[in-house]
Structure 1
């Protein structure tokens, strides 16, 4: 029998947020049946990446897709504290370091069709752990069991972790906080992902000033869609 955990603090967003999530979900589905492992990435912390990752995973689960959410931010995860877990959990860092097996780190949740692998205890060498063959084996095993594997990754601007994870993904979605990050920086992140052989699926423009009407042009070159979302990571 698989481990289970109860997630608390599951707040619903406003109407615009819910519609943006549905648009994102639909666009992900139209990317093709070969797009199963998807990472969400940002340049810096606090751009809303972790919130969007969880929202996308839970939205896919709501329409009957079997979803595994992997929190791969071994350096500074927010998920355990954000969702107020009722017990201590095992995680990815323990699996990659050989302390736990796969069955011990996958948790069923109180959201139907959604399983989670938490990040686990902080590790001083997360990049080295992610380069272990065990991570590739974990992703391949998940492909056979789940419709989608959604991965929350560390910010990519000054860390190598995201580029390592990208090697195992079918596509990436870039989360950008509107007005906070330069086009040059985001172009650098985009290029890093493409060098890893990871397809760029699109961009989520977050914390948008909906009254200005000026946000469409700046990022439209990145991909197929833009969504607006009002929460932080």
Structure 2
């Protein structure tokens, strides 16, 4: 297996660090059958990719073997965000039959964390993510890893996230505070439910400290049942 050095964005403050610990713990308490988890959002810019990779790293810190898959085949930001300075193969090349799963999987400098990047943008992302090769990949990797965390495109824009969710044990929606209407978020949640994937909850992201009590005391908690906050 090849390897890459990844650089997570600036160190977390105490409150954010504890928020990720809470998210990780709640994921673990969902049960042993929740192993493959897709992360999506309503719209771009809500912090979905950052939350995804931070969650994967947090799980690896507990001694778990974790695979992070960047399945945002349309517009991934992770190569730049993780400061990857070498050429890498990726998911689109595997799903197109160009490379094997071993060739696209990279070890990282974070113990226990491996990663699959997106690869070149294909002309048919939705078709690739719903084909049998993607499902077979996840099935094989379940035998190797304790958790598989999958970053998917915003579900409010394209259907890719729902296609991925069909092959997952659970889904988490990242929602930026004050960025979407309640009705729009409900629509996204219902779209996930149609994929027959268990909705584990929501990460209410970019919450200012002074507003946290207002969010948790009102409609977000009432609707989702469980909400996880991370200010990143």
Give the TM bin, normalised by the shorter chain: over 0.9
Whether the 8 Å CA contact 1:173–1:200 is kept in 2: the answer is yes
Answering whether residue 231 of structure 2 is matched by residue 230 of structure 1, we say yes
* Match of residue 107 from structure 2: 108
Structure 1 residue ranges without an equivalent (≥5):
none
Structure 2 residue ranges without an equivalent (≥5):
none
Whether the 8 Å CA contact 1:200–1:223 is kept in 2: the answer is no
Answering whether residue 215 of structure 2 is matched by residue 215 of structure 1, we say yes
Aligned residues: 230
Map Cα deviations across residues 154-176 of structure 1 (whole Å, 9 max, x no partner): 00012010110010010111110
Query: Displacement of 1:124 after TM fit?
Result: 1.9
Query: Displacement of 1:11 after TM fit?
Result: 2.7
Distance in 2 (CA, whole Å) between partners of 1:130 and 1:211 is 40
Query: Displacement of 1:229 after TM fit?
Result: 2.2
TM normalised by structure 1 equals 0.96
Whether the 8 Å CA contact 2:201–2:228 is kept in 1: the answer is no
TM normalised by structure 2 equals 0.96
Distance in 2 (CA, whole Å) between partners of 1:230 and 1:77 is 21
* Match of residue 51 from structure 2: 52
Whether the 8 Å CA contact 1:166–1:193 is kept in 2: the answer is yes
Displaced runs of 4 or more, over 6 A: none
* Match of residue 77 from structure 1: 76
Map Cα deviations across residues 11-66 of structure 1 (whole Å, 9 max, x no partner): 32110100000000000010000000001110100001100000100000000000
Q: In 2 relative to 1, CA 195–113 (structure 1 residues): closer, same or farther, beyond 3 Å?
A: same
Query: Displacement of 1:209 after TM fit?
Result: 2.4
Map Cα deviations across residues 186-225 of structure 1 (whole Å, 9 max, x no partner): 1111111111110011111111122133212121134353
Query: Displacement of 1:126 after TM fit?
Result: 0.3
Answering whether residue 134 of structure 2 is matched by residue 169 of structure 1, we say no
* Match of residue 127 from structure 1: 126
Answering whether residue 21 of structure 2 is matched by residue 17 of structure 1, we say no
SS at match of 2:214: coil
